[in-house]
A and B are shown apart, each in its own frame.
Chain A
Amino acid sequence: STSSVLSTEKDKSAVSKDGTTEGASKRQEDTAGSAKQKLLDIIGNMKVEVSYRKKLQELKAKKQAMSRPEGMDSENPQRTTEGIQRGKPLNPELVKAASAVASSFPLNKKQTESELLAQLRRHEETTDKQRKGGTVNIRNVISEMTVKRQSPAQRGVRISNRISLDLDEDGQRIRPERFSSQSFDSRSLKVGKRLNIFTKASTEPEHALKTVSSPTIWDLEFAKEIAAITAQPPRNGFEEMIQWTKEGILWEFPIDNEVGMDDDAEFHEHIFLEKHLEGFPKEGPIRHFMELVICGLSKNPYLSVKQKIEHIDWFEKYFEEKKEFLQEI
């Protein structure tokens, strides 16, 4: 029915164009800005997207076209039909060429010309579609498509993974879990419209609660109870080792030689301890003795700087207490 409609419309245009092709093109250029032309152009453009919509709008346009040419000049039906037909009118050169070819044919000139024009228009349609509505079509298609499209491929991947992987010692399979997580990432849970089912939990009252309540004994007991209940026995050697590491039985690997040794002091604080000897007399056996002590401490890697200072301070106290005794000597 559409093709027949097309042919009748194009017969009209062909008839009109046989006589006045140039005139028609001129008139099109002159009256391109008319509101009706615009409307019809819009309708014609809208027709490019979906075939069903095309048909509906064609019918509407036909009704308009039929109603208008009743009370209008001969020029308008040309433009309306041309506008209806498909957006852009064909090049006048192409039309001329089509008419020349049709005239060369011995058979029905009008039919051949109409068919040629129809083919030209189809070419125009396709180019228009590709320019305007091609991307839109793809978008419509993808939006209509459901998420399940990827599942058969993913299933195949999962199955192949299960078959090909070797079981670990404990029968756990770490890799397929990674793959499944990756598959979920490719689906991207965060994409899509928000359903707004859950309301965001506000964080402010939480902070307020924490600051207000100090941990009571009952809270501590409750926490201990929960920890005791949730602490399941280790399922395998790995979990046992994890538990031991947490308790401190097992060291952390790679082994850190300075675990538990938080010596913030630099090397010069360990070695140059003479500044702590200010409380002692500068000459005498005590000074000699203390210098030896300092020499020994500077070579000691096991004590911290604090301990060394305490050592020296103890000697200072001891000798101060014995000052009177020493002076008697």
Chain B
Amino acid sequence: MAVGALCWALRAARQVLPLPCPGQVRGYYVDWRMLRDVKRRKLAYEYADERLRINAIRKNSILPKELQEVADKEIAALPRDSCPVRIHNRCVLTSRPRGVRRRWRLSRIVFRHFADHAQMSGVQRAMW
């Protein structure tokens, strides 16, 4: 409970400079972990093509092995956050790492909250 309160207090501030409007714009992510996840996603998007091509060279039976080893080294040299494996699907609203339904990107608690208040379209309490 105390941890939760601390987490709520330490809201992650995110400054976005390259925006069209002249002034500063601050948007808040739920917590730092969510911020880091956002960074990882962005980097993964940037390096996606390169990673694909280098992996195509690596996972190959035609090209010589030396070339493939060089490719291994190259891909390891890329920033660590650029690999898509490090992305973790957290809850969009609460940043909960576990119990997240992929279709709604929400944790089970938030999902239940909205569904009970009839704010989830097409979701109904199961009864059979």
Contacts and interface: CB of A to CB of B under 8 A. Distances in A.
A293 B56 contact: yes
Contacts of A311: 49, 53
Interface string B84-117: 0000000000000000000000000000000000
Contact of A288 (B56, B62, B67): B62
Contacts of B60: 289
Nearest to A315: B53
Given A314-B53, A318-B53, A292 B62 contact: yes
Nearest to B56: A293
A329 B64 contact: yes
Interface in B26-66: 49-50, 53, 56-57, 60, 62-64, 66
Nearest to B53: A314
Given A322-B70, A325-B70, A286 B63 contact: yes
B109 to A, nearest CB: 28
Contacts of A318: 53, 57
Interface residues of A, number: 14
Contacts of B62: 285, 288-289, 292
A322 B67 contact: yes
Nearest to A291: B62
Contacts, number: 29
Pick the most buried of B50, B53, B67: most chain A CB atoms within 10 A of its CB.
Answer: B67
A289 B63 contact: yes
B63 A285 contact: yes
A252 B72 CA distance: 47
A26 B49 CA distance: 115
Nearest to B64: A329
Pick the most buried of B49, B62, B64, B70: most chain A CB atoms within 10 A of its CB.
Answer: B62
Contacts of A315: 53
Nearest to B22: A217
B53 A329 contact: no
Given A311-B53, A314-B53, A329 B63 contact: no
Interface of B: 49-50, 53, 56-57, 60, 62-64, 66-67, 70
9 contacts: A285-B62, A285-B63, A285-B64, A288-B62, A293-B56, A314-B53, A325-B66, A325-B70, A326-B64
Interface of A: 285-286, 288-289, 292-293, 311, 314-315, 318, 322, 325-326, 329
Given A311-B49, A322-B70, 7 more contacts: A285-B62, A285-B64, A288-B62, A289-B62, A315-B53, A326-B64, A329-B67
